[in-house]
Structure 1
């Protein structure tokens, strides 16, 4: 039987007002809202303006008393607007043939008038549960289809055709289907997490969880709780049992990002868990076996840190059965156009800008830049340029925040904390003018602007 207020919203359509009022009196105890309507012609309006957990639909209206013809018509109209609708047909003249036809045409169930209250409530409850099951199955089918598409399109999230990135793809292919621990090395912004996810998606564990942990963001006091979990009452803020990341990732892949930031005592605790392949929640004395595929990443020189006694050699041996080193963006410049075009499409759509592409002059500027922040920096640069641009194509002046240092290398000039675009632009223009002692021509050249463009911006910012 349906419990109190278990159902969200019910719509009932019947031309008998006494039936509608009786149903509402019964159902309002079990639903948050019950809408009743005697005119079936209002069904399209009702469906356009709201959604319902269940729809109770009379089979026969005044024009056609016993055939159910009108009921079948309105059933088809409802399902055309919402194929997942839960529709229970009601009639006083039902028979087996009509019931079978109703179910074949998409009804969830069928009840006869006069109904028994308990039976009506049970029918509604069962129909809603069945519909939830159908939706879950549909969700799983879609997830399976998406997974198959991902498998058939390897590395679709990792953009690049350069020789250096193809070597990375080759390594992923070799290591993914094994259970070997992988260490991903590379500068900030090179896409280490994307590589970790690609390894998981192509592994035998792809149906299980991928759990990522930023080791640099976990404080020493919370390390064991975050990774190994805790029991309720084991410390002041432990108000309930909580599984750790190892437990959540059991059967799947655990990705430990920024592992080089762990201090020596925490490295020791991690190593013990990996060696024993078991963890113990804080407040418990019962060890729990774990089965994970470990992928770690860092931008720090772990081999040098071993010499400096800041990273354990035995932990490094444990986590790097296979090492994958990601190339910085400056070493794969042929991929810049592909990446830039990807981000252009993404952010043009996001900010509803009709920007068709990037000019050759702008691409030249992007290629000259050293990209110390790698792909992440390129992504942010394209996003900022799209926000600032008023043109159909991105031009060099749209990347005004990229400038040439006196040593000849290109560097990004940005205030350290201020992310307000107008303030960023004003600050950079002021800095360029200061560097060139007020010479507008030199400042404009430094910024990649025409003199006219720079004058417009000076006027805009009151400089």
Structure 2
């Protein structure tokens, strides 16, 4: 469930708190109800239920023990409500937070709350209630997953993140390689240390060593001061080298030397500096191209590829397009002050029939443009405009798929003809079961 679809009840004896909560939430949620007197809880819940309840822990009592809040929390639970309860208090007490969570609260926040923290808490609770999403949280967005192929990726991340293994992330542009790299770092034992990203594919030969290894003052003409390289900056943490497949053989040799010795020497210096980093690399090149020694050193591949993660393109992620589209609509409708904007089913169908050569990044831009241009509260199919830059690639991909289908159909016809119409023999020759062959016969109307 999204925040814009949620109904929220706020209970607090402070009128200023109720006003602040209502002003904050009314532009984000479907409905916000406020109440000063917790004695009204029973009559309120007899009439209707809520998705989320924000409840103060201290009302009339001057003891500030939080016992009143715990009493009313138990009352909400006893009324058979499905509401998730967030307890709010002006008095920070770890024991009180633990007690409220044990009693069934979903979260515990301190007054005065940070608006974004409160909104994020509600969003997280609503996603857990829906029980359909697996998320990797980033500062300004989510990597939302519903498809089985991406759930497998997340399981792999969960296993390898706590280790110090070097990771190679493969995937097309826009599939979220940098987001996965951050997720691995955030779930690792190095999470409190630096995460340093460098697009090594964009570095020239002259900048490569200075950028990665640093230089001392006077090392070359424009070296007016000493520079810390990315390896040194990432010491103790994670170094993410993006577009690793685009560096030259000479750059690969220099990188391999550092990875083997675990020390860097700044340009213009003879002093080796030990570095302790966890290395994550990414490329949009397929593995068979990386394995070409004319393009990439095999000894470097083995060094950077202790574990490999292959990110599937969006077109192979069944169910994720609608999930991601809903998320981007909610995000950009808040950003551009268009509350309660939704996306039509026909618009979703249009998205799901598109090839998405630009993957999740392209979907994000399409939805942002649709939100900006939409003149109603519902995004229609004609609001969905695909980029002409990517459309040519989509047409080429579709043509290739048509050619593959024609090839498969002709191969099946030849096998059946060769075996005089005997389906069992034709299936055996094609390496298929009879059932699989019958499915293809129906597919091609043979």
Equivalent of 2:136, from 143, 151, 155? 155
Instruction: Show structure 1 runs of 5+ residues with no match.
Output: 1-141, 413-463
Is residue 173 of structure 2 the alignment partner of residue 188 of structure 1? yes
Note the C-alpha offset of 1:306: 2.7
Q: Could you say which residue in structure 2 is the equivalent of 1:239?
A: 224
Q: 1:368 to 1:215 in 2, by over 3 A?
A: same
Q: Tell me, in whole angstroms, the C-alpha distance in 2 between the residues paired with 1:374 and 1:407.
A: 12
Q: Could you say which residue in structure 2 is the equivalent of 1:317?
A: 302
Note the C-alpha offset of 1:401: 3.5
Q: Tell me, in whole angstroms, the C-alpha distance in 1 between the residues paired with 2:385 and 2:273.
A: 55
Note the C-alpha offset of 1:410: 9.8
Q: Could you say which residue in structure 1 is the equivalent of 2:279?
A: 294
Equivalent of 1:202, from 187, 191, 212? 187
Is residue 360 of structure 2 the alignment partner of residue 379 of structure 1? no
Q: RCO greater where, 1 or 2, for CA within 8 Å and sep 6 or more?
A: 2
Q: Tell me, in whole angstroms, the C-alpha distance in 1 between the residues paired with 2:272 and 2:293.
A: 34
Q: Tell me, in whole angstroms, the C-alpha distance in 1 between the residues paired with 2:292 and 2:383.
A: 46
Note the C-alpha offset of 1:297: 0.3
Spell out, residue by residue over 1:49-87, the C-alpha distance to the aligned partner (whole angstroms, 9 max, x if none).
xxxxxxxxxxxxxxxxxxxxxxxxxxxxxxxxxxxxxxx
- Asked if the contact 1:189–1:376 (Cα under 8 Å) also holds between the matched residues in 2, the reply is yes
Spell out, residue by residue over 1:368-411, the C-alpha distance to the aligned partner (whole angstroms, 9 max, x if none).
00000000000000011111110111000001336998999599
- Asked if the contact 2:171–2:286 (Cα under 8 Å) also holds between the matched residues in 1, the reply is no
Q: 1:177 to 1:206 in 2, by over 3 A?
A: same
Q: Could you say which residue in structure 1 is the equivalent of 2:204?
A: 219
Deviating more after overlay: 294-303 vs 351-360: 351-360
SS class of match (2:145): coil
Note the C-alpha offset of 1:349: 1.5
Q: Could you say which residue in structure 2 is the equivalent of 1:391?
A: 376
Q: Could you say which residue in structure 2 is the equivalent of 1:265?
A: 250
Q: Tell me, in whole angstroms, the C-alpha distance in 2 between the residues paired with 1:379 and 1:293.
A: 30
Equivalent of 2:164, from 179, 188, 193? 179
Q: Tell me, in whole angstroms, the C-alpha distance in 2 between the residues paired with 1:294 and 1:268.
A: 16
Q: What's the RMSD between the two structures over aligned residues? A: 2.8
- Asked if the contact 1:229–1:243 (Cα under 8 Å) also holds between the matched residues in 2, the reply is yes
- Asked if the contact 1:211–1:254 (Cα under 8 Å) also holds between the matched residues in 2, the reply is yes
SS class of match (2:136): coil
Equivalent of 1:281, from 235, 243, 266? 266
Q: 1:337 to 1:410 in 2, by over 3 A?
A: farther
Q: Tell me, in whole angstroms, the C-alpha distance in 1 between the residues paired with 2:393 and 2:183.
A: 39
- Asked if the contact 2:291–2:298 (Cα under 8 Å) also holds between the matched residues in 1, the reply is yes
Q: Could you say which residue in structure 1 is the equivalent of 2:57?
A: none
Q: 1:340 to 1:285 in 2, by over 3 A?
A: same
SS class of match (2:143): coil
Spell out, residue by residue over 1:301-323, the C-alpha distance to the aligned partner (whole angstroms, 9 max, x if none).
24333335100000000000000
Note the C-alpha offset of 1:347: 1.1
Note the C-alpha offset of 1:215: 1.0
- Asked if the contact 2:357–2:393 (Cα under 8 Å) also holds between the matched residues in 1, the reply is no
Q: 1:401 to 1:326 in 2, by over 3 A?
A: closer
Aligned residue-pair number: 266
Q: 1:311 to 1:395 in 2, by over 3 A?
A: same
Spell out, residue by residue over 1:73-118, the C-alpha distance to the aligned partner (whole angstroms, 9 max, x if none).
xxxxxxxxxxxxxxxxxxxxxxxxxxxxxxxxxxxxxxxxxxxxxx
Q: Compare CA radii of gyration and give the structure with the larger one.
A: 1
| TM-score, length of structure 2 as denominator length | 0.56
Is residue 334 of structure 2 the alignment partner of residue 335 of structure 1? no
- Asked if the contact 1:405–1:411 (Cα under 8 Å) also holds between the matched residues in 2, the reply is no
Is residue 339 of structure 2 the alignment partner of residue 354 of structure 1? yes
Spell out, residue by residue over 1:99-141, the C-alpha distance to the aligned partner (whole angstroms, 9 max, x if none).
xxxxxxxxxxxxxxxxxxxxxxxxxxxxxxxxxxxxxxxxxxx
SS class of match (2:320): helix
User: Structure 1 segments of 4 or more deviating over 6 A?
Assistant: 402-408
- Asked if the contact 2:135–2:144 (Cα under 8 Å) also holds between the matched residues in 1, the reply is no
SS class of match (2:163): coil
Is residue 237 of structure 2 the alignment partner of residue 252 of structure 1? yes
| TM-score, length of structure 1 as denominator length | 0.54
Instruction: Show structure 2 runs of 5+ residues with no match.
Output: 1-116, 129-133, 399-446
SS class of match (2:144): coil
Q: Could you say which residue in structure 2 is the equivalent of 1:97?
A: none
Note the C-alpha offset of 1:351: 1.5
